[in-house]
Amino acid sequence: ITPASMTIVFLSITIGTIMTMSSSNWLMAWIGLELNMLAILPIISKPKTTRASEATTKYFLTQAIASAMMLLSSTINVWQTGNWNILELKNKFSTTIMALSLMMKMGAAPIHFWLPEVLQGTTLQTALLITTWQKIAPVTLMYMISNNIQPAILMSAGILSMIIGGLGGINQTQLRKMMAYSSINNLGWTITIMAFSPNMALMNICTYIIMTTPIFLMMTNMSTKTLQNLSTTWTTSMTMTLSIALLMLSTSGLPPFTGFMPKMLILNELISQKLTTLATLAI
């Protein structure tokens, strides 16, 4: 891929996300997500391997289904209300389909199956792009419609994401798959609190992005792809290995690291909403 075409691709990804974030119309938001999705496909398929082609196909099909669901939801809502405005998503059926399509876009459970596979089939830089930048647009849309989504749907998906993210990462030796399950787990926290405090959900996802970015960059720098690679980097770059270990502990929400702060605030909010059982499950 030439530098000119890469510039066009990255520009399209940026414009697509910004278009979705700044639009008040479902059609424009959908166009932004489509532009974003089509632009990232050449990046995923850049390594000329079978795994990369498989990852590209999986990503494309999943995102296309999610986009179709999104369009169906907004069309039904327009049919009922006569309004394309994002904040006017009043129809319960439309809201449920929209919530599911956005969860599918960002890779939250129960529609998370594509994320570990796609991340494993691509490069570390692309995995970074998928787990951070590609989450921004769907999370923004979910933030905008959070008042209309039934809390039970968000909480069910959130708890399921926490459980799958936590258990799925245990038996992994591949770092990219571990980071994928970490992403699912963090999305679980974000979605759970989205029903009660959308601003806190945004803070959680921003903290996650800030912590994940240096982990991927350091793994790229040291060319580590498995836990075995990571255990041997101690001799070559002690500082970087220690930094990755501390950042991973922070991402998992261990005190006194930064990642503990949003989780503590989320638990506090859940308890104040009289959802003590849910807070206990989250722990």
Instruction: Report the sign of the C-alpha dihedral through residues 249, 154, 157, 62, in that order.
Output: negative
pTM of the entire predicted model: 0.93
Greater confidence, 164 or 233?
164
Cα separation, 45 vs 271, in Å, equals 45
Structure tokens at 191: 């979605």
Mean pLDDT of the chain: 92
Q: Which of 159, 56, 57, 149 is nearest to 102 (CA)?
A: 149
Domain with 60 in it: 3-282
Q: Model confidence over 121-167: pLDDT tens digits? A: 999 999 999 999 999 999 999 999 999 999 999 999 999 999 999 99
Average pLDDT over residues 40-52: 93
Cα separation, 97 vs 50, in Å, equals 33
Number of domains in the chain: 1
